Amino acid sequence: MRLELTNRSGCAVARLDGELDEGCVKEVREKIDAFIRGGNIGQFVFDFSKLSFMDSTGIGMLLGRYKKLKQLDVPIYISNASGHVDFILSTAGIYTIMKKIS
């Protein structure tokens, strides 16, 4: 799993590349949380264009970040999810709380 975090003019982006599963979710969660604590975030985008797999631990990580960012009144978006990842997000109802963008 590769994670790239950027913040340009308050638009924070987390680009995930690989598989988001039990083996890496703790490290991803900790890095994103530290990034959020850095502040100056007006919106947060999860870019899943290169994410090939996600399991229930990945869904849990997303929900936890949703709760943190919601407390800060920061909108969250999911970008470029496809295939298996898009199916999992849709089935889990994630798109009802995080808007899907392209």
Query: In whole angstroms, what is the distance from residue 85 CA to residue 71 CA?
Result: 26
pLDDT score of 102 more than 90: no
Find the domain containing 97 and state its range. 2-101
Full-model pTM: 0.95
Asked if the model's pLDDT at residue 84 lies above 90, the reply is yes
pLDDT tens profile 11-67: 999 999 999 999 999 999 999 999 999 989 999 999 999 999 999 999 999 999 999
Query: How many domains does the chain divide into?
Result: 1
Cα 78 from Cα 44, distance rounded (Å):
9
CATH number at residue 18: 3.30.750.24
| Pairing label, strands 2-8, 11-20 | antiparallel
